[in-house]
Amino acid sequence: MRLLLDEMYPPSIADGLRARGHDAVAVVERPELSSLPDPGVFAAAQLERRSVVTENVADYVRIANDHDARSVVHHGLILVHPARYPRGDPRTVGMMVTALDVLARGVPSDEPTGLRAWL
């Protein structure tokens, strides 16, 4: 499973995942993605065969639902509950790296599955 972390997440999460052997990148590491609206970020993730990791549930679920309604398979969403992984908590980076590591190891393929998972 290849991951694209939405703009609200620091690159340290992607760094931690890469240290564990995962193909992960954060939007903030990619200047060409930083200014894109959510549909553009989702489209870029699909071109790179990545699942989007985000807490922006409303926008990304709407985008994924549109793909599903058109029978366009996508690489999925990993939806993050902000109360479980608060951005201001210094423990969040480590907790997210651990949770995403476990999830990614359970989905070894980067084939499009329309996956939706919650952290």
Task: Please report, for the domain that includes residue 39, its CATH number.
Answer: 3.40.50
**Region 3-16: what's the mean pLDDT?**
97
Task: State how many domains the chain has.
Answer: 1
pLDDT in tens, 88-108: 899 999 999 999 999 999 987
CA torsion 7-67-118-52 (nearest 10°) is: -30
Residue 53 contacts residue 78 (beta carbons within 8 Å): yes
Q: What's phi and psi for 24, nearest 5 deg?
A: -135, 145
* E-strand stretches of the chain: 2-5, 24-26, 50-54, 77-79, 116-118
Residue 35's pLDDT band (cuts 50, 70, 90): confident
Residue 52, domain extent = 2-118
**Region 20-33: what's the mean pLDDT?**
96
> Positive or negative, the Cα torsion across 8, 101, 103, 69?
positive
Q: Is the pLDDT of residue 110 over 90?
A: no
**Region 9-15: what's the mean pLDDT?**
97
Q: Is the pLDDT of residue 47 over 90?
A: yes
In percent, the amount of the chain with pLDDT more than 90 equals: 89
Cβ-based neighbour number of residue 22 at 10 Å: 17
Extract long-range pairs of 62-67: CB within 8 Å, 24+ residues apart.
Answer: 63/38, 63/39, 64/114, 64/116, 67/114
pLDDT in tens, 56-90: 999 999 999 999 999 999 999 999 999 999 998 99
